[in-house]
Amino acid sequence: MGVKAITQSDPTFLKTVYKHDSLVDLVNHERFVDIGERYIVYASKMWRVYKMGKDRNPRLCGYFTNLHLAVANAN
C-alpha cells in the first residue's frame, strides 16, 4: 500500500501520479487521513509531505522536487 496523496486537478500532478500509481493511494480530502499519518500534497510545483497532528492540524515535514523523494520521506 502506498502513501496517501490528496487529489489535485493540476495536470502535472495527474500525469505523475498516474504514471507511478503503485507509489501513492489517492484520497480526495484530508479528512480521510488518519491522525499521525503522513501524506503528500502537490502545490506550487513542489511535492509537500505533511503529518496529520492529534488536533487534526497538518504539520509540514518537507518540500521535495519529485514524487519519489516525497514518498521516500513519507515512509
In this prediction the pTM is 0.91
Beta bridge partners of 47: 42, 64
pLDDT at residue 27, as a whole number: 95
Alpha carbons 33 and 31: distance in angstroms, whole number = 5
pLDDT tens digits, residue range 46-71? 999 999 999 999 999 999 999 999 99
Alpha carbons 16 and 35: distance in angstroms, whole number = 26
pLDDT at residue 1, as a whole number: 62
Give the rounded percent of residues in the chain with a pLDDT score beyond 90. 91
- If one compares 1 and 73, the residue with the highest pLDDT of the two is 73
Which residue, among 33, 32, 50, has the nearest Cα to 41 in the 3D structure? 50
Which residue, among 21, 11, 1, has the nearest Cα to 67 in the 3D structure? 21
Tell me how far apart the terminal alpha carbons of the chain are, to the nearest angstrom: 11
